[in-house]
């Protein structure tokens, strides 16, 4: 029923990763495709330029790569890769469509092997594979250091590889090794021995029941998760991983503020961060202009495709550009020349915030430019300092302009307790008197995890039922006050 494609607006090709088969499919599709129909390939490794060879002018104009990250319903990265003849209208349409209707982070990439996300992501994983042996670390230690403490998913490094599948990772790494022979870190994409052994044994992760971790049952039938010992290649009981440096960051809520502390660590953890960031910073600096011309696209791709809270250049800013250059030098590496040019021109960071917008250092223009696409929404992180009109320990109230106030929760995980309720009431007072409307909004991972159960639990333990009733009544009264206030309230 391939003839049905004549009635659609967008055809997505997702057949097996073989160029000859893809070309047959495109030849067949062209017989039925209506001119003007978008046609894209979801390849992750085959250059886009080879796929549309020999196709009609209209086909080539409407053809590009659209790479979704797996699992597509959770990961936000949507890479758009133009072919040699893709029209700018098609790219602009897909870019906007991805952001607005698919809820993705759209990133236009160049037609280079593994595009942006996987090129940097696989480098990052491969450098850890080599470092784990060099620094004599365990699987647990690496996962402890590369997880939530630095704003990365709980599955960190090795558990992520288990979920994605070692064979998938090896396929992409081999693709980069074979096709990026000019890459200054080419040897790093060679697989270490323990990976080759795992591939031979078919220890590919969750899909084969064992990878870096393995579920097993003990004599009493209790499930235990075992870890692969990379020296003996045997599974053993999990070991706990503790580092003094991590203890120092326990009181630092904001991940971005932890980096300076982590890289200053005097133990193995500190050394690990200095080495891994030094390698990462050097690598990303050399990928411009090869994989993209704009540094913020690398950060966007890593955040949306790998679930990192901060991209490499944001982390580099957090530790300081000069410090980052020291780490690079300590690894016997060199940063790209443009980083030194940037510093020479008086710019000491990759990003800057002014007038409520984020700016980035534009390498070809050698100047600071505004990141496009910010005009249609407000980024609270960028305006908080200049627009604050009230603050307590639970909320910050900002004046968004146009007569609108915003209440932003600031409590732990945005729980709702006494201070938040007091802040909401204060904001309604102010809005009803001098403003036209009130928004309750924030940009945290969770809008709010709900009531502050700890506070309620303490009242219950101490049997302070009058206070507990008052707290619940205050919550209810505040919600009803928002509902019936003289100004519109939106959360």
**Digit-coded pLDDT (tens) for 129-186:** 999 999 999 999 999 999 999 999 999 999 999 998 999 899 889 999 999 999 999 9
pLDDT in tens, 421-462: 999 999 999 999 999 999 999 988 889 999 988 888 999 999
Every domain of the chain and the residues it spans: 2-108, 117-368, 387-490
Query: Cβ(431)–Cβ(423) under 8 Å?
Result: no
Would you list the DSSP string of 60-111?
HHTEEEEEEPSSTTT--EEEEEE-TT--HHHHHHHHHHHHHTS--EEEE--S
The span from the CA of 15 to the CA of 490, in Å, is: 45
How confident is the model at residue 304, as a pLDDT?
Answer: 95
Alpha carbon of 387 to those of 14, 43, 169, 212, 278: distances in Å?
48, 45, 46, 49, 37
Asked if the model's pLDDT at residue 306 lies above 80, the reply is yes
Its pTM stands at 0.89
Select from 3.40.50.720, 2.40.10.120, 3.40.640.10, 1.10.10.10 the CATH code of 2-108.
3.40.50.720
pLDDT digits (tens, 9 = 90+) for 349-373: 999 998 889 999 999 999 999 998 8
State mean pLDDT over 253-276: 96
3-class DSSP state of 407: strand
Is it the case that residue 45 has pLDDT exceeding 80? no
Calpha distance 108→83 (Å, rounded): 11
pLDDT band at 42 (very low <50, low <70, confident <90, very high): very high
For the chain, the residue count is 491
Question: 25-60 burial by CB neighbour count: b if 16+ within 10 A, else e?
Answer: bbeebeeebeeebbbbbebbbbebeebbeebeebbb
Q: What is the mean pLDDT of residues 277-287?
A: 98
Q: Single out the residue of 204, 207, 174 nearest to residue 191, CA to CA.
A: 174
Query: What is the rounded average pLDDT of the residues 18-28?
Result: 95
Tokens, residue 144: 């402890």
CA angle 131, 135, 136 (to 5 degrees): 110
Neighbours of 126 (CB within 10 A): 23
- Tokens 């906007």 locate to 96
Per-residue confidence (pLDDT) for residue 70, from 0 to 100: 79
What would the pLDDT profile of 370-407 be if each residue is shown by its tens digit? 998 888 788 898 888 889 999 999 999 999 999 999 99
What is the pLDDT of the chain when averaged over all its residues?
A: 94
Q: What is the tens place of the pLDDT at every residue in 191-243? A: 999 999 999 999 999 999 999 999 998 888 899 999 999 999 999 999 999 99
CA distance 186 to 193: 17
Q: What is the pLDDT of residue 444?
A: 87
Calpha distance 168→211 (Å, rounded): 13
The DSSP string of 293-360 is S-HHHHHHHHHHHH--SS-HHHHHHHH-HHHHHHHHHHTT----HHHHHHHHTT---SEEEETTEEEE
How far apart, in whole angstroms, are the C-alpha atoms of residue 237 and residue 239? 6
| Closest to 284 in 3D by CA, of 268, 266, 271, 296 | 296
Q: Poorest-confidence range of 52-56, 219-223, 461-465?
A: 219-223
Is a pLDDT exceeding 80 seen at residue 84? Answer: yes
Nearby residues of 462 by Cβ (< 8 Å), 6 or more positions away: none
SS3 content of the chain, % helix, strand, coil (to 5): 45, 15, 35
Give the CATH number of domain 117-368: 1.10.1040.50
Q: Angle at the Cα of 254 (from 250 to 255), degrees rounded to 5? A: 80
Name the β-bridge partners of 133. none
CATH number of 387-490: 3.90.226.10
């Amino acid at each position: 029923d391939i003839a049905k494609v004549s009635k659609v607006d967008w055809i997505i090709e997702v057949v097996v990763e073989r160029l000859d088969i893809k070309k047959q499919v495109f030849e067949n599709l062209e017989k039925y495709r209506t001119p003007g129909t978008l046609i894209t390939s979801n390849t992750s490794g085959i250059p886009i330029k080879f796929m549309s060879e020999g196709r009609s002018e209209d086909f080539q104009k409407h053809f590009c790569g659209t790479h979704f990250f797996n699992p597509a319903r959770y990961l936000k990265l949507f890479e758009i890769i133009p072919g040699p003849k893709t029209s700018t209208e098609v790219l602009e349409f897909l870019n906007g469509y991805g952001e607005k209707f698919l809820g993705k982070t759209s990133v236009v990439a160049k037609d280079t092997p593994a595009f942006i996300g996987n090129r940097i992501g696989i480098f990052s994983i491969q450098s850890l594979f080599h470092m784990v042996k060099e620094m004599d670390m365990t699987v647990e230690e690496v996962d402890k250091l590369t997880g939530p403490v630095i704003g990365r998913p709980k599955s960190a490094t090795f558990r992520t590889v288990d979920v994605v599948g070692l064979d998938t990772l090896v396929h992409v790494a081999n693709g980069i090794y074979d096709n990026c022979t000019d890459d200054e870190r080419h040897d790093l994409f060679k697989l270490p021995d323990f990976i080759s052994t795992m591939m031979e044994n078919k220890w590919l992760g969750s899909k084969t029941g064992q990878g870096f971790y393995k579920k097993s049952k003990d004599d009493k039938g209790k499930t235990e998760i075992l870890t692969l010992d990379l020296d003996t290649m045997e599974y053993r009981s999990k070991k706990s991983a503790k580092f003094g440096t991590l203890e120092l960051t326990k009181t630092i809520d904001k991940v971005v503020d932890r980096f300076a502390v982590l890289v200053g660590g005097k133990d193995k953890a500190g050394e690990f961060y200095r080495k891994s960031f030094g390698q990462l910073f050097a690598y990303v600096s050399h990928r411009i202009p090869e994989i993209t011309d704009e540094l913020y696209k690398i950060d966007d791709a890593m955040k949306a495709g790998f679930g990192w809270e901060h991209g490499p250049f944001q982390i580099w800013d957090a530790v300081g550009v000069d410090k980052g250059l020291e780490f690079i030098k300590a690894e016997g590496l060199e940063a790209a020349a443009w980083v030194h040019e940037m510093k020479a021109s008086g710019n000491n960071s990759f990003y800057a915030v002014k007038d409520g917008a984020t700016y980035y250092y534009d390498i070809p223009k050698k100047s600071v430019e505004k990141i496009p696409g910010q005009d249609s929404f407000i980024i609270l992180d960028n305006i908080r300092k200049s627009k604050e009109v009230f603050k307590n320990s639970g909320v910050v109230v900002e004046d968004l302009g146009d007569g609108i106030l915003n209440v932003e929760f600031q409590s732990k995980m945005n729980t709702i307790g006494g201070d938040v309720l007091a802040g909401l009431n204060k904001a309604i007072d102010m809005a009803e008197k001098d403003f036209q409307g009130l928004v309750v909004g924030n940009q945290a991972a969770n809008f709010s995890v709900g009531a502050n159960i700890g506070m309620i639990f303490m009242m219950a333990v101490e049997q302070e039922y009058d206070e507990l009733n008052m707290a619940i009544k205050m919550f209810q009264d505040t919600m009803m006050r928002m509902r019936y206030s003289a100004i519109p309230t939106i959360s």
